[in-house]
Amino acid sequence: MDMPSTVDKKKRNILLISEAAIYTGALVTLNQLWYADYPRSSFHFINDNAEWLQMDKLGHMTVSYYWGVAGIKAYEWAGMKRKNAIWYGGLTGTFFLTAIEVLDGQSTEWGASSGDLLANTTGSLIAIAQALKWNEQRIQLKYSYSPSEWANTNPEQLGANHLQRTLKDYNGQTYWLSFNLKSLFDIRTTNFPQWLNVAVGHGADGMVSAYQKENDSQRKRQFLLSLDVDLTRVKTKSKILNTVLHSFGFIKFPMPTLELSNGKLYAHSIYF
């Protein structure tokens, strides 16, 4: 049962004004940098669900999930009732990314994607469901990246530098579901590390374009199993260090990893 509302009006106003400013600034910047040089069109949808072996959809889901996690914390900080904070905050990513889909849908170069909308909503619901059931995130969506050999073959789509490639080169990205062992299995042994996770991941390699082309035989999916560290559960005596660690909690920690791809099993001493 929710406790009575104790909304701090000052914090609520700070939150709402900050949200509005971030949303507006981000959308205006995106519109100028990304869409302004392309002709407009009437709103339309495209079917891009087969592109990039769905790696872009996993990216949408993960971004929406972390916007939701941050949104829940922000609304709780403002003193909103627990369930309201979870629903309003948890849907933050969906609201923001849906606005981007509207911009996509009004551009002749792109179009709104039903797959993106579904991925955005799924990411939010993963955050919301865990907050409602456990009041914590026992299963986290995570991201990792390492440079790939394919980006130089198509820098326009895969990125011209390392910063762009962390967002655009799906060959170098991996998306993970990271399960916290102690909280999921209610392990009460005091010496069992509360930060220890097991993660399953999905990656792809050999993609030089969105769709497979002739003689594109190197294209493959990668299924991964690894250990992980939940940085949000690492506690030190320094509040500053704790904040830094928790801020990078969305990144999968480099660990030994098993990879299954094209029917073959590979072992990596360290995978990131």
What tens digit of pLDDT does each residue of 186-216 get? Answer: 998 889 999 999 999 999 999 999 998 866 7
Q: Are residues 25 and 102 in the same domain?
A: yes
Q: What is the mean pLDDT of residues 224-241?
A: 94
Shortest CA distance to 43 belongs to which of 108, 90, 131?
A: 108
| Structural domain ending residue among the three candidates 110, 137, 164 | 137
Q: Are residues 36 and 130 in the same domain?
A: yes
Residue with tokens 């949200």: 19
| Per-residue pLDDT tens over the stretch 15-36 | 889 888 988 888 888 777 678 7
Shortest CA distance to 173 belongs to which of 200, 152, 142?
A: 142
Q: What is the mean pLDDT of residues 24-50?
A: 86
- What the block records as the tokens of 86 is 């979870």
> 15-29, 56-70, 77-91, 110-124 — which is least confidently predicted?
15-29
Q: Are residues 220 and 103 in the same domain?
A: no
Tell me how far apart the alpha carbons of residues 70 and 61 are, in angstroms, rounded to a whole number: 14
Average pLDDT score over the chain: 92
pLDDT exceeds cutoff 80 at 131:
yes
Helices and strands (H and E) in the chain: how many: 9, 8
Residue 95 banded pLDDT, cuts 50, 70, 90: very high
Q: Are residues 145 and 73 in the same domain?
A: no
- pLDDT at residue number 24: 87
Q: Are residues 16 and 87 in the same domain?
A: yes
Q: Are residues 189 and 242 in the same domain?
A: yes
Residue 5 banded pLDDT, cuts 50, 70, 90: low
Number of domains in the chain: 2
Residues 6+ apart with CB under 8 A from 181: 187, 192, 196, 197, 198
Shortest CA distance to 127 belongs to which of 226, 197, 56, 61?
A: 61
Q: Are residues 128 and 143 in the same domain?
A: no
Tell me how far apart the alpha carbons of residues 8 and 140 are, in angstroms, rounded to a whole number: 29
Q: Are residues 183 and 125 in the same domain?
A: no
Which domain does 32 fall in, by range?
1-137
Q: Are residues 170 and 224 in the same domain?
A: yes
